[in-house]
Structure 1
């Protein structure tokens, strides 16, 4: 087992074949570990959103797999456009490529995909679900704010500092600005020399529209989920609310819910230590080691 400080040297970069043969960029930490934890990011994010949590959980003994959804980061961009069903099928393909059923940790879009795949499967490809600030019905105003950010700056940025200013304005509660090194995985330099976000802008409109249309499907799938489920919500989120959480807990009465009071919708980035502790406590593996690494006793909030 590697020490946390050496973990970046032990990240294995790979590709996993998704639906229709698309190549999905992925990272594997501690490949022989158990249980397997599969991280699925939100719309507009990349696998790098999970780095701190995946590093800690790999050191604690888990096999940790994260990947970029199609149209994001280093993954393929299909010529024939984007449809939600492709994202569902990609997630299933990644899960089924693992040596044993993974625990899915899904943020926002990643959590919705997990609910659909689980609820619509006679034999789900996961052993448990951790949903990160998402419920099958969401607050449309919060999602609209995310999409507005993603549609802004179609002409990109002249340098990393301009991009850092844009993120700081979008997330004013966070201290400091991202460095150029932190921003590199989030941006691509175009032929014109300008930096643009890593996602394919062609997917924004169709996926936003399909997401709304798929809500009844997601609610019905959620009703059929029997796996162990943990919902982690941000106390300052504008995407989930007490209304949507209450409805979710009626649909999945066996689910556990933990609120991280200081977090917004960007839970992992806002409260990463508390987020990671909540996951390891839920799965019951490596909790003592992770709590020790993060300087808090097991069971601390």
Structure 2
């Protein structure tokens, strides 16, 4: 069950929609990966609230019910700027900065926000299957899946579920498709399409090797400046993050903790939510002396 809806102002005045779970305690902000929505974090939000925190599960710009950005500004840094804006509003409300839990795109936003754009924005950072450098073949496979039905869409939720099952054959098909339905939108032609702005793909992945290398260099530089508590949770079968990437990241961020979730792919929380939840709640518990 979703919590009450809360709206925030993004860096460009764009409306950002979040579900709030819990009423008291240290704030935790959860940012989904590219092409997902805030509903991917519903289970985690409930568990975080049950552990005595307030969780905000946010639709990032161009995703879910948050505003599409007419300018097409969907670079990693733009998501980082939104994070700085939202974290500032949460800090003002709660009197303390939030812990960020960022999956993939959400984690990159966290690295840039804290390590480059506005140090001190976050209390701690949890990166879910993402590091500054990743396997580009894995990125290409994910982008290809996202792009495949971008124009044609789907006739039904069941057809979308079939596409996901073909892409993620290791994941059991859910008994209910209600969660998947929240990641789709009905368009005027009656078809269902993914609940994100198509410009997100063209802006992020049509800019060539030089721009991608520049973005990677910026992320590496930002990661090296991180001084807050960090937890990296990797899917043991990750398509993006190899153990070599993990070793490099831990050299950049010596204070980072690391958890490898066996039998999980890039979508760690979806594949092994039990193990993911235990690692996350344990990390939050250890932070409590810092934020009594």
TM-score (norm 1): 0.88
Could you tell me which residue of structure 2 aligns to residue 234 of structure 1?
Answer: 235
Q: Determine whether 1:109 maps to 2:105.
A: yes
Could you tell me which residue of structure 1 aligns to residue 116 of structure 2?
Answer: 120
Could you tell me which residue of structure 2 aligns to residue 294 of structure 1?
Answer: none
Q: Secondary structure at the match of 1:167?
A: helix
How far residue 184 of structure 1 moved from its aligned partner, in angstroms, is 1.8
How far residue 267 of structure 1 moved from its aligned partner, in angstroms, is 0.2
Q: Secondary structure at the match of 2:47?
A: helix
How far residue 179 of structure 1 moved from its aligned partner, in angstroms, is 3.5
1:272-291 superposed matches below 5 A:
272-284=273-285
C-alpha distance after superposition, 1:200-259 (max 9, x if no partner): 111202112355531000000000100011100011001000111111011011111110
Q: Secondary structure at the match of 1:277?
A: helix
Q: Determine whether 1:28 maps to 2:20.
A: yes
Matched-pair contact (CA < 8 Å) for 2:10–2:85: yes
**Aligned mate of 1:173, from 170, 176, 196:** 170
Could you tell me which residue of structure 1 aligns to residue 30 of structure 2?
Answer: 39
* Unaligned 5+ runs, structure 1: 1-7, 288-301
Q: Determine whether 1:156 maps to 2:153.
A: yes
Matched-pair contact (CA < 8 Å) for 2:113–2:119: no
How far residue 81 of structure 1 moved from its aligned partner, in angstroms, is 1.2
Q: In structure 2, do the counterparts of structure 1 residues 286 and 87 end up closer, same or farther at CA, with 3 Å as the change threshold?
A: closer
**Aligned mate of 2:192, from 190, 195, 198:** 195
Question: Runs ≥4 in structure 1, deviation > 6 angstroms?
Answer: none
| Between 157-166 and 172-181, the greater mean CA deviation after superposition | 172-181
1:43-62 superposed matches below 5 A:
43-62=34-53
Q: In structure 2, do the counterparts of structure 1 residues 189 and 212 end up closer, same or farther at CA, with 3 Å as the change threshold?
A: farther
Aligned equivalents of 2:287, 2:216: Cα separation in 1:
36
Could you tell me which residue of structure 1 aligns to residue 9 of structure 2?
Answer: 17
Aligned equivalents of 1:286, 1:20: Cα separation in 2:
32
Aligned length: 278
C-alpha distance after superposition, 1:82-104 (max 9, x if no partner): 24232111011111111221111
Aligned equivalents of 1:170, 1:178: Cα separation in 2:
18
Matched-pair contact (CA < 8 Å) for 1:168–1:177: no
TM-score (norm 2): 0.91
Could you tell me which residue of structure 2 aligns to residue 76 of structure 1?
Answer: 67
Aligned equivalents of 1:133, 1:183: Cα separation in 2:
21
Aligned equivalents of 1:107, 1:171: Cα separation in 2:
17
* Unaligned 5+ runs, structure 2: none
**Aligned mate of 2:139, from 126, 140, 143:** 143
Q: Secondary structure at the match of 1:232?
A: strand
Q: Secondary structure at the match of 1:155?
A: coil
